[in-house]
Structure 1
Amino acid sequence: MSVPFRITDIQLYERGVRMRLPFRFGVVTLTACPQAFARVRIATADGREAEGAAAELLAPKWFDKNLALSNEDNFEQLRASLRLARDAYLGAAAERDAFGHFATHYQPQIDAAARQGLNPLIACFGPALIDKALLDALCRAQGLPFHEAMQRNLPGIDARLTGDLAGFDIDAFLASLAPSPAIALRHTVGMLDPITGADIAQRLDDGLPESLEDVVAATGCRHFKLKVAGDAEADIARLTRIAQVLDDSLPDYQVTLDGNEQFADAASAAAFWQQVERTPALRRLAQATLYIEQPLPRAIALDSDVRPLAAMRPVLIDESDATLDAFPRALACGYTGVSSKACKGIYRSVLNAARCRQLNEQALREGREAVYFMSAEDLTTQAGLAVQQDLALVSLLGLAHVERNGHHYVDGFGTAPPAEAQAFAAAHADLYQPPGRPRLHIQGGQISLRSLHAAAGFASAAHPLWDTLQLMAVPQ
């Protein structure tokens, strides 16, 4: 049964994040970036009050890849989305359940953002962060861990915004979900990442792996996400070097290819994959490829027939998943997968997972193969709230592996005060090691999640040190 509540306060904060290694994805090389934090207070109908929190990176050149905009322009776009969402959520005094708050503001937020020239992907960022913080507060008010709250549908999730799920039993779907004690890490190999030690001109010597060879040796990872740039010759050469490391180091592995919207059209993406399959040195890597992620620019992705490519390897949408109707539109084009990213919204992830369940059940009833799937992707989630809440979400949705890259490009808790890092590490000792300098703990390619499931709240028994954060500025 859902629990109504009023939102009594929403505060927005920032903290700068510095990368230990440059992260090249799509059209940007990231070296520094702010992380946004939401701090909320709620009052439930039965008189309980609670505080909740969430965090998410203000990543440039993903939500809007317009090269005419600077990184600071992109940061300000996301701040604008957060301010719009904060004002809307606080301006509605009515008691609603958590999903009701989201549903009430979903389309008005998109419309308000559009009037400021902001696309739907940006528009949904603000509510995504605030919704996570509200769910954290709700779980704390009820004394429940995230997975139990979701199994009981405490947020009140329904099909009011997704007509294709009108006949689907969402309560039964949520009740059937069970969190895993661990999840496999899928390591991101960025476009600038060194493949072998010979690629490193000067080592950082910070105790963390730098090259792909280092990562394999240090973490035992067997899942990898490989960025490609849409330049077939350069991509094939780089994939060949990656394949040599993986083939020589691991008895078995699995990879995904991320096109980051870099292919001009569906035909060129299909031709590239055919070239991969024809390259002898890539034979094992091609066989190990699970799917291809967002190869086409979002402007054409949902108007392009990707079935020729999908007949060779499954294709999923990521950047094109800008609204709640995007996945059904993508299905008509031949895509069978969709990504889960906390920065796009927890409710979108849950509803798209429900769609996959419904589609697969229907396919099996009709004697067809169950091919619809969700993947767990990362946008450099940082140690603490962001990585913990995302891990809890994708684990509950039954995903077996998750792209993680924030721990690789940022050293541990980065610029967070040592006392904050120690508080999170003490509360989640299985997730962060060693105790003196906590970093994401990866053993045998796995991340332990047990402490996330034990915490009352949304996957965290700790909160940031708020007085060390900077209030998000209001533009003059």
Structure 2
Amino acid sequence: MTFTIASFQFHVLPMRTRFPFKYGIASMSALPHLFVTANLVVDGKAVSGLASEGLPPKWFTKNPDTPFEIDLAEMISVIQNASRIARLAAEKPTSFFEWWQNLYAEQSSWAKIKEQPALLANLGVSLIERAVLDGLCKALGQPLHAVLRSDVLGIDLGAVREELRGMRVADVIAPAPLSRIHARHTVGLGDALSAADGTLDDGLPYTLEETIRAYGLRYFKIKVCGKPEQDLPRLREITRVITANCPSGFHATLDGNEQFYDLASFRDFYATLRADAALAPLFQNLLLIEQPLHRSQALNEDVAATLSTWTEGPGMIIDESDASLADLPLALDLGYRGTSHKNCKGIVKGLANAALLKKRTPVIRGGPILSGEDLANVGPVALLQDLSVMALLGVTHVERNGHHYFRGLSMHSQATQEAVLSTHTGLYHRHPQGFPTLKIQNGTLDVSTVNSAPFGCGITLDVTQFEPLNDWIKRGGMGEL
């Protein structure tokens, strides 16, 4: 199978949160949701692929001194540059993997010249990659899992990383995609925990207590700010709420949000938390620790000495530091146990990461960890494509928070809402107020319709209902957020 790329189109849907989402150094109350359409010709047949991503503040870059408008302009720049490279790499018929190699290499070279960080640069690669994959799956009339197992894309893992020579994508992904996935609920730094923290009368659960009861949650991701005087009382209350409302047990992960600049300091912080008797239920059920070190320090050589003697905690993984193809191998060498998957970090890269963890399983102390994390994904495109990949990678519990910070799919047209409800009957349901929202039952999501769609979405979305990106920029849309 070969294809050419005729053009790309970009459209924007501005979105506002129900309440601020506080993480790391950011507090998100609004963002632009970007839709990318790839117009392809696949084996002589015209087809369009679609991908989307919310563009959040202070994740791809964490410079506290730059305003969101500057960060957003950089995100848009790397995406547009990736589209330019992608189109040039497919002016003549090309295979998917050959095209992807050119896209990744040229975007990486451009980013080095422009001094753009790899995590940000690969946002562009991942969005374009997803749009093209969606088009190819539609052209083949097959879901992504089947396409990857057939090897029609020609992905050569050994060409991505030499130590993966001889491994096939079909040997890395699950034999069949998971039909249900646990939703791991984000407890943000400013989220209400109980009615004592206030109420929000918009028809959706607001406090942690309400959310557990409404969705039957059993998995949680808890963010910390790195200051014991603030974290300890909040963690005590979080632990109390979770244990009181999860009589059958629970599991949790701890997100360090890059708040530390040396691992010894984090180890002291962790010991302080762990010594608190009220937090015993939390630490007895802790699955992993997600990137406590700032990305500028997380892969330094001195990390290895501390990790080699780390016995009092669960496995530690990288997240933001998993920026380029070179990062996970280095992290494993230093003693980390794995990484996170987010579609915004790339599909081929995610497959190569899963393959590397499988390859190195015998030498990873405690075993490898591939977690599923979130960037406030919402449907009907980004969330479903992300769930599609999580299901085929066999990730059993995935951080999900877009449904919590945004009001379901209420920001979309009535036609889009009805299409989602009729196509994804197990994943979405109609809220009493009329809009679709995620159907989380017993803490799990039914992703069977996602697995049967070409690449998760399964509906025809008319992107012309949204504002063209260039028009949005020219009229000052960035300043309205």
Q: TM-score, normalised by structure 2?
A: 0.93
Within a 5 Å distance, the mapping from 1:393-412 to structure 2 comes to 393-412=389-408
Classify the secondary structure of the residue corresponding to 1:419.
helix
Q: How does 1:5-404 map to 2 (within 5 A)?
A: 5-45=3-43, 47-92=44-89, 93-158=91-156, 159-174=158-173, 176-200=174-198, 203-251=199-247, 252-303=249-300, 304-305=303-304, 306-307=306-307, 308-309=309-310, 312-360=313-361, 362-363=362-363, 371-404=367-400
The AA in structure 1 aligned to 2:463 is W
Q: How many residues align?
A: 464
Instruction: Report the residue type matching 2:160 in the other structure.
Output: L
Deviations 1:414-470 (A, max 9, x none): 422222122122211111111731001101101001111222x21121133212111
TM-superposed CA distance for 1:191, in Å, is 0.4
CA contact (8 A) 1:11 1:38 kept: yes
Counterpart Cα distance in 2 of 1:229 and 1:53: 36
Give the letter aligned to residue 314 of structure 2: R
Q: Which amino acid aligns with 1:218?
A: A
With over 3 angstroms needed to count, the CA separation of the structure-2 counterparts of 1:237 and 1:433, relative to structure 1, is: same
Is 1:429 equivalent to 2:428 in the alignment?
A: no
Which residue does 1:465 correspond to in 2?
462
Distance 1:341 1:292 in 2: 16
Structure 1's 309 and 270: CA in aligned 2 closer, same or farther, altered over 3 A? farther
Q: What is the CA-CA distance between 1:265 and the residue it aligns to?
A: 1.1
Instruction: Please give the secondary structure, in 2, of the residue aligned with 1:299.
Output: coil
Q: Hey, what's the Cα distance between the residues in 2 that align with 1:100 and 1:310?
A: 43
How many Å apart are 1:471 and its aligned residue?
Answer: 1.4
Higher alpha-carbon deviation: 217-226 or 116-125: 116-125
Structure-2 separation of matches of 1:240 and 1:52: 47
CA drift at 1:28? 0.5
Deviations 1:132-182 (A, max 9, x none): 1111110110110121112212322112121221243444334x5321111
Q: 1 CA distance for matches of 2:72 and 2:383?
A: 20
The answer for unaligned runs of 5 or more in structure 1 is none
Q: Is the 8 A contact 1:269 1:309 kept in 2?
A: no
Displacement of 1:117 = 3.3
What residue in structure 1 maps to residue 479 of structure 2?
Answer: none
Structure 1 partner of 2:478: none
Does the 8 Å contact 2:11/2:467 carry over to 1? yes
**Contact persistence 2:148–2:170 (CA under 8 A):** no
Could you tell me whether the CA contact under 8 Å between 1:17 and 1:35 is conserved in 2?
yes
The answer (yes or no) to whether the contact 1:378–1:404 under 8 Å persists in 2 is: yes
Q: Which amino acid aligns with 1:75?
A: L
1-structure distance, mates of 2:152, 2:66: 40
SS in 2 for 1:230: coil
| Contact in 2 for aligned 1:383/1:439 (Cα 8 Å) | no
Relative to 1, partners in 2 of residues 1:125 and 1:310: Cα closer, same or farther, differing over 3 Å? farther
SS at match of 1:473: helix
1:75 aligned counterpart, secondary structure: helix
Same amino acid, percent of matched pairs: 35
**SS of residue matched to 1:185:** strand
User: Residue 385 of structure 1 contacts residue 463 of structure 1 at CA under 8 Å; is this kept in 2?
Assistant: no
How far did residue 369 of structure 1 move?
A: 5.9
- Name the aligned partner's letter for residue 375 of structure 1: S
Q: Distance in 2 between matches of 1:151 and 1:400?
A: 20
